[in-house]
Amino acid sequence: MTYTLAEEDYLKAIYKIAERHGTPVSTSAISELMQTRPASVTDMLKKLADKELIDYKRYHGVSLTRTGARQATLLIRKHRLWECFLVEKLGFNWDEVHVIAEQLEHIQSDTLIDRLDDYLDNPKFDPHGDPIPDASGAYRMRYQILLSDLGLHQRAVLVGVREHTSSFLQYLDQNHLALGATLEVVEVLPYDGSVRLRLSDGEPFLISGQVARQLFVRQITEAT
């Protein structure tokens, strides 16, 4: 029941694609996310199918089996817990932790991850606002809508990001857009979906529709 680093990363990739775009997951989608050639993906899919971690029909994409999905969520659990550790304990910025956690997630030790979880006080969300599965693989989705779907004058709290690239996160930092920040939609430009925002006690500023579609928020229902 122990898998190689490559197998784990493929399972995680399939999981993430399925989560976002549904099932079945195509060879080319995996290829793009993993930065490998489609032929390499096909090779790996055969191996994962042999181990019954995925259901695979030639030319028709794949989906994770129960075992495969469980393995993927455990890897995600480890990834996100390590990210918490790096930010909370070692003082890393949220744009620096992904690449390191990409390595740390493969450390094999159940005890280690459980103790890390306790050490961090069993966090429910990682530094990017993503939910952390518990030891059984279960997690609850965060309530969220896209910032781009907010109406004029609505207020909301930033709870997550869709993009995880360093450059995007650094852009958010520069605009003081941190998780937990309260914001209000001051203006919506219909042509390109740009949105003018105001943070608590700050000057309004503009973000592109492109950016607005990468931000998850929880709407604040006004106390009547």
95 near Mn ion (CB under 5 A):
no
Shortest distance (Å) from residue 133 CB to its own copies: 20
**CB 84 within 8 Å of CB 127:** yes
100 near its own copies (CB under 8 A):
yes
Of the candidate residues 58, 89, 153, 176, the single one contacting DNA (CB under 7 A): 58
Selection from Mn ion, DNA, its own copies, none that 39 binds (CB < 5 to 8 A by kind) is DNA
- Angstrom distance (rounded) from CA 124 to CA 139: 8
108 near DNA (CB under 7 A):
no
Shortest distance (Å) from residue 196 CB to DNA: 37
Residue type, 71: Q
The CB-based long-range contact list for 190-196 (8 Å cut-off, 24+ gap) reads 193/148, 195/147, 195/148, 195/150
Return all residues near 23 (Cβ < 8 A) that are at least 6 apart. 61, 63
Shortest distance (Å) from residue 24 CB to DNA: 9
CA-based max dimension of the chain: 59
Of the candidate residues 9, 95, 96, 117, the single one contacting Mn ion (CB under 5 A): 9
In sequence order, what DSSP letters do the residues of 93-119 get, joined into one string?
-TTTHHHHHHHHTT---HHHHHHHHHH
Query: Can you say how many angstroms the Cα of residue 40 is from the centroid of all Cα atoms in its chain?
Result: 25
23 near DNA (CB under 7 A):
no
Of the candidate residues 43, 52, 149, 173, the single one contacting DNA (CB under 7 A): 43
Shortest distance (Å) from residue 5 CB to its own copies: 10
Residues near DNA, by CB under 7 A: 4-7, 26-28, 31, 35-47, 56, 58-61
For its own copies, the binding residues (CB under 8 A) are 86, 89-92, 96, 99-100, 103-104, 107-109, 111-112, 115-116, 119
